[in-house]
Amino acid sequence: MQLQNARRAANASCKISGCTRQINAVVGFRGRHWSCEAVAFIPTPTIEIMNDPSNKDHCISVCNGLLRGERSAVETYTQAIEKHSTAPAAAELTRILGEHKEAVTRLADNVRSMGGEPDTTSGAWGVFAKTVQATSNLFGAESAIGSLQKGEESGRSDYEEALLDDEVMIECKQMIREELLPRTIAHIAALEQLARTA
């Protein structure tokens, strides 16, 4: 908008009442009209990161990586709940599972809003899912709860890394900062509480 105004102002008449001078160069803006006596300032067009296709592609890639992690979390929690469905902790694990499902929906919608295709595969939680599947213990060393906690900590690191990425778009960072990362931190605290009360 500033650049368009500057182009329209070039070679136009001064808009200050009574002035007959021509504006041969853009020198500034007074009120709603360009004028020859305004402050000598030429607006410099800025490139908005949000409109840069390369940033959008990068952000889609980052969000799809986070999406794969959340899909893995859903699979891992589902396995833990199915294996330990009668345990008192199952209700809390089911609640956390629901929040991971919401995160999958949120990230998939975000990828679509940027013109990308949501990834349907799972990601880095694979090793933790295998431990959950193999162990018969819900608590203790090498337990299901321990594996879920490690998975959540891995997810937290992924979200924190995305926040530090200068090429991730502002809207994506806002979603991570305000929604996804706080939930992940809360999940870790909830699992720690379960382990303490076991």
In tens, the pLDDT along 39-75 reads: 333 333 333 444 455 688 999 999 999 999 999 999 8
Rounded CA-CA distance 79/134 in Å is: 10
How deeply is 1 buried, as exposed, middle or buried, from its count of CB atoms within 10 A (0-12, 13-18, 19+)? exposed
Residue pLDDT, tens place only, 28-38:
333 333 344 43
- Please indicate, yes or no, whether residues 161 and 193 belong to a single structural domain of this protein: yes
Residue 97 counted as domain residue: yes
* Per-residue pLDDT band at 96 (split at 50, 70, 90): very high
**Among 36-40, 88-92, 118-122, whose mean pLDDT is lowest?**
36-40
Average pLDDT of the chain is 76
- Please indicate, yes or no, whether residues 7 and 92 belong to a single structural domain of this protein: no
Indicate the pTM of the whole model: 0.69
The share of the chain scoring above pLDDT 90, in percent, equals 47
Residue 131: closest CA among 197, 72, 198, 44: 72
- Please indicate, yes or no, whether residues 102 and 14 belong to a single structural domain of this protein: no
- Please indicate, yes or no, whether residues 180 and 90 belong to a single structural domain of this protein: yes
Tell me how many domains the chain contains. Answer: 2
Residue 119 maps to which CATH number?
A: 1.20.1260.10
- Please indicate, yes or no, whether residues 73 and 98 belong to a single structural domain of this protein: yes
- Give the domain extent around 189: 49-197
- Please indicate, yes or no, whether residues 30 and 53 belong to a single structural domain of this protein: no
- Please indicate, yes or no, whether residues 25 and 57 belong to a single structural domain of this protein: no
The share of the chain scoring above pLDDT 70, in percent, equals 62
Rounded CA-CA distance 71/153 in Å is: 15
